[in-house]
Structure 1
Amino acid sequence: MMSDDIEFLKDLIRIDSSTANGNETAVAKLIQAKLASAGIDSKLVEYAPGRDSLVADLNPDAPGPILGFTGHEDVVNPGDLDTWTHNPYEPYIDGDKLYGRGAADMKSGLAGLVLTLIRLKKRPASRITCACWRRSVRNTALMGPNSSPSLVMSTTSVPCWSAKAATRR
């Protein structure tokens, strides 16, 4: 029997959000529904038609620094689908590995941050913000200038900025 967490990841992989098609809104809406089922409010922020980002904020009125979880909703274009052994948008499991477009970058990261946010909601201590964004949108545009430190759930080379240290990592 498959866990609900793995099923959520598989649902994310099934969405073709390749950079060529501008379908990040479908990813954002799936995440929004998952968060809503856990009692977490979120909002969509339109970058362009079909390219909505999502922001969910736990304890938005809490004082102090913000811990931001961020990740992008798009995936690399699959190229010629005829060269694939399996449909890249139909996840499949072989042994203990799950395959599909975005399984490593970035759908698994999104699932991880969303599921972490849901679990953290049960133990609130400070303000925590989750942003799922279009690749070219900076974290501060969605979460504000006090959003460091950020936990960037991506295997890409997106720079992570720390407002406290004012350095680029």
Structure 2
Amino acid sequence: MSAIAAALGLLFSGTVAWFSVSAMRQQLEQNRRYQAGRVTFWYVITEGGYGTVVVNRSLDSVPDLNLDFHVYKVATSLRRHSASIGLGTLPPCTRLTFPPGSFFEALTSTGEFRVPKDTTPDDIRFTDTDGRSWVRNEASLRGDPRNGTSDGQVASYATAEVHPHREA
């Protein structure tokens, strides 16, 4: 009888420990995604076309913010390529509004790429204050599988000054 009671006690203790570890893992994941979950972007439709809004709602700066675009090379118009515009550090509690056409010149200035006049980013890449890389698109937030390296696609990096309307 005491062996059965001991076995039930052990089973109960194991179950409680498993749920405790599970809750702790879930809390750890929430903490890990805390800042990244507060950095986002969306599109706005205006008379001039599509604009883009990028927001950092966290209390910490977001270093190394990049806007990623799918572009087509003029010479090989059927093959899609990637281009990125680096914005540097996004201060805390900041909203950037890019009117339609903001990225066109930066992406086409070399004559290498072809994009619509009101092109918008497909995703944003950034690093949180803990040094983890993230990618956000319209549908999801995920850790950056590239961690700063190419994922096999041809990548070109446009360096340009883009002047958003900054709202604090």
TM-score (norm 1): 0.29
Higher RCO, 1 vs 2 (CA within 8 Å, ≥6 residues apart): 1
TM-score (norm 2): 0.29
Structure with larger Rg = 2
Which of the two has greater strand per residue?
A: 2
